[in-house]
């Protein structure tokens, strides 16, 4: 074979081999690139899912706190007012006013006490109606308040330690709340019936042949408040303790919010 032709054939063979090798290398590199890209895409998908989950959790956390913060002051005020009256009944001989010979003073003392209980139940029920308690229970910043509110609701409704005296079941709490505040309102916290309105409706209901309004639900409770041994009532003792825990939890949250706002201003 002519040496020139032989050289040309050899050169062509090497070129072909080089082309084949290059093609193989390119194919391998392409597969590796595709595989790496697929792995990267998978990692990006996992990262996006994790970030979306964290974002949703953060939004639920902020929403739970915002809902509680909108009700914090009304709930705190209602709890403090009720705790003060219970303290006076237990320790300051408020029974004297609940059974006073002065009709006006007895009326204000008794109906004022009923109004404080009713106001607390109204704000409590509004909390139940406007919030997802399961979300509150899973959020560390709101769990304590929810646990305290639920404990109070159980203390009112349970006959395990205090018998039937001053017992008030959840259905009764809801009924009074429904009469005290518009639970379907879109307002952050609608107006709860004031004492003058409450007294007028209660007195009007008593004049009916059959009570149907506030007096229907609170009549027996009012009688229990006027028994001579009311200061030693075990349910009032438990309620006093439970309200104290709730007030402290609400005040702690309010202080934390204030510190956060001050930090942002700084």
Kindly tell me the burial class for residue 43, based on how many C-beta atoms sit within 10 Å of its own C-beta (0-12, 13-18, 19 or more): exposed
Q: What integer pLDDT is reported at residue 72 of this predicted model?
A: 86
Q: What integer pLDDT is reported at residue 37 of this predicted model?
A: 74
Average predicted confidence (pLDDT) for the chain = 81
What count of Cα atoms within 13 Å lies in the side-chain half-sphere of residue 105? 9
Confidence tier at 252 by pLDDT (50, 70, 90)? confident
Q: Is the CB of residue 235 less than 8 Å from the CB of residue 155?
A: yes
Which residues fall within 8 angstroms of residue 40, CB to CB, at 6 or more apart? none
pLDDT digits (tens, 9 = 90+) for 128-169: 876 554 455 556 667 888 889 999 999 999 998 778 999 999
Q: Is the CB of residue 91 less than 8 Å from the CB of residue 232?
A: no
Assign 244 to helix, strand or coil: helix
52-56, 106-110, 184-188, 214-218: segment of lowest average pLDDT: 52-56
Tokens encoding 228: 């001579």
pLDDT digits (tens, 9 = 90+) for 51-96: 554 544 444 444 555 666 777 899 999 999 999 999 999 999 999 9
Average pLDDT value for residue range 92-109? 96
């Amino acid at each position: 074979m002519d040496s020139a032709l032989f050289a040309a054939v050899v050169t062509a063979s090497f070129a072909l081999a080089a082309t084949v090798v290059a093609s193989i290398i390119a194919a391998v590199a392409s597969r590796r690139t595709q595989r790496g890209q697929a792995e990267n895409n998978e990692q990006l998908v996992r990262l996006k899912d994790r970030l979306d989950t964290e974002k949703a959790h953060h939004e639920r956390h902020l929403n739970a706190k915002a809902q509680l913060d909108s009700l914090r002051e009304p709930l705190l005020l209602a709890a403090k007012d009720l705790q003060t009256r219970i303290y006076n009944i237990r320790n300051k001989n408020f029974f004297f006013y609940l059974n006073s010979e002065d009709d006006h003073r007895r009326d204000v003392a008794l109906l004022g006490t009923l109004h404080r209980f009713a106001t607390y139940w109204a704000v409590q029920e509004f909390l139940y109606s406007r919030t997802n308690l399961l979300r509150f229970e899973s959020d560390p910043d709101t769990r304590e308040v929810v646990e305290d509110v639920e404990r109070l609701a159980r203390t009112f409704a349970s006959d395990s330690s205090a018998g039937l005296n001053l017992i008030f079941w959840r259905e009764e709490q809801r009924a009074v709340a429904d009469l005290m505040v518009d639970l379907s309102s879109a307002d952050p916290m609608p107006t709860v019936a004031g004492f003058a309105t409450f007294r007028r409706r209660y007195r009007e209901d008593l004049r009916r042949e059959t009570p149907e309004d506030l007096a229907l639900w609170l009549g027996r409770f009012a009688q229990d408040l006027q028994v001579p041994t009311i200061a030693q009532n075990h349910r009032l003792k438990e309620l006093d303790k439970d309200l104290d825990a709730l007030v402290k939890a609400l005040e702690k949250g309010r202080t934390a919010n204030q510190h956060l706002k001050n930090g942002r201003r700084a």
